[in-house]
Structure formats: C-alpha cells, structure tokens
Amino acid sequence: MIRELKWNDLDDLVNNYYSYYDELRDTPDFGISFYKKIPDFSSEVEWFTGLYKSVLDGNAVAVVAEEDGRAVGLCEIERIRPGTELEHSGVLGIAVRKGYRGRGIGEAMIKRAIELSKGKFEILKLEVFSVNTGAINLYKRVGFVEYGTFPKAVKRGERYYDVVQMYCTL
C-alpha cells in the first residue's frame, strides 16, 4: 500500500535507515550517502520531526510504502530553502528496504510523490550515484532527465563516487 507519512512511522523508518548502514558492510557501492558516525536515535527523532513538520507546513511531501503492516520505503520531496527564490524547487530522496526492492514499490512511491507535488513545486531534482544505473533508469522512466555529473562527489573510505544530477519539470 502506498500512502502518505503518518506520525507513527517513526520506528519503522528509523529501523529501515539503520538497516542501510548494515547493508553498506556487504555492499560497498550502496547508493545512499552516509554520515561517518551512525546517527543516534535522538538525531533520528529530530530528522523525523523536521520532515513531519515540513509536510504540515506545506514544504514537503512524504510517501510511504506499507507492506506486512510496516513502513518499508520512504520517498520524500523537500522544498529547497523556503522563503527564498529557490523555493519553487524540491529535492527528492528515496529508499526501499532490502527484501522489498525490484517489485515496483519505488516507482509507485515516486509517482505518488510527483502527483502530490503538483501545485506545490515547479521543479524536482535529485542526485544519484552514477554506478546506481537501476535507480537512474527508474528516475528516467518517471520523467527525470540528467543535467550533469559531480565528479568524485562522494568519498567513501579511499573510493570516490561520481554523482549524477537529474531534474523533472512538473
């Protein structure tokens, strides 16, 4: 089920986020940029509260995929610097928990988030590791186009990753 964010999604979403740190150990190319130190629970509460507040304030949309009674994925679009000349744009982020990928959940979440963004944002943008070709293809499928590459944008240990920048006009 694809639905909007609820206040009681906090625990599932934090668990999902911590599971991505676990995945990083076996998947060095994992396509999310991480804090060097795993954020503690109180930082996560702060993140969730901030996102929830942004949704209430009309400065974000947040879509959750619920499976087996749990939130297994999140797609959020947050307004860039509200109150400035950049505020017509939103930045998209997305992740689906391992075990639930490759089944259309990501695509369904992005499509819902784009629908909710209409009338709220004029342009969406995102950044994706250039090695994450599956994700890049997914973004193209839902209407994003590439506009550049930031070389060596991510430094993970001794390895650098280029980041592809994409946008979508609503």
Ligand X SMILES: CC(C)(COP(=O)(O)OP(=O)(O)OC[C@H]1O[C@@H](n2cnc3c(N)ncnc32)[C@H](O)[C@@H]1OP(=O)(O)O)[C@@H](O)C(=O)NCCC(=O)NCCS
* Contact flag: residue 151 with ligand X (CB under 6 A): no
Compute the distance between CA of residue 89 and CA of residue 70 in angstroms, rounded to an integer.
Answer: 30
- Beta bridge partner(s), residue 65: 2, 73
* Contact flag: residue 106 with ligand X (CB under 6 A): yes
- Long-range CB pairs of 107-110 (<8 Å, 24+ gap) are 107/138, 107/141, 107/142, 108/2, 108/65, 109/2, 109/63, 109/64, 109/65, 109/73, 109/74, 109/75, 110/75, 110/138, 110/139, 110/142
Give the contact letters, 108-147, x = binds to ligand X (CB under 6 A), - = no: --------------------x---x-xx-xx---------
Q: Tell me, what DSSP letter sits at residue 38?
A: P
Q: What is the dihedral of CA 21, 30, 64, 106, to 10 degrees?
A: -160
CB of 85 to ligand X, least distance (A): 26
Contact indicator for 11, 45 with CB cutoff of 8 Å: no
* Contact flag: residue 154 with ligand X (CB under 6 A): no
> In this chain, which of 58, 104, 148, 151 binds ligand X, going by CB under 6 A?
104
> In this chain, which of 55, 60, 64, 105 binds ligand X, going by CB under 6 A?
105
Compute the distance between CA of residue 97 and CA of residue 75 in angstroms, rounded to an integer.
Answer: 12
* Contact flag: residue 157 with ligand X (CB under 6 A): no
CB of 161 to ligand X, least distance (A): 11
> In this chain, which of 31, 44, 54, 112 binds ligand X, going by CB under 6 A?
31
> In this chain, which of 10, 72, 77, 94 binds ligand X, going by CB under 6 A?
94
Closer of 120 and 165 to ligand X (Cβ):
165
* Contact flag: residue 32 with ligand X (CB under 6 A): yes
- The count of chain residues that interact with ligand X, using the rule CB under 6 A, is 18
Compute the distance between CA of residue 52 and CA of residue 13 in angstroms, rounded to an integer.
Answer: 12
Residues binding ligand X (CB under 6 A): 31-32, 94-96, 101-107, 128, 132, 134-135, 137-138
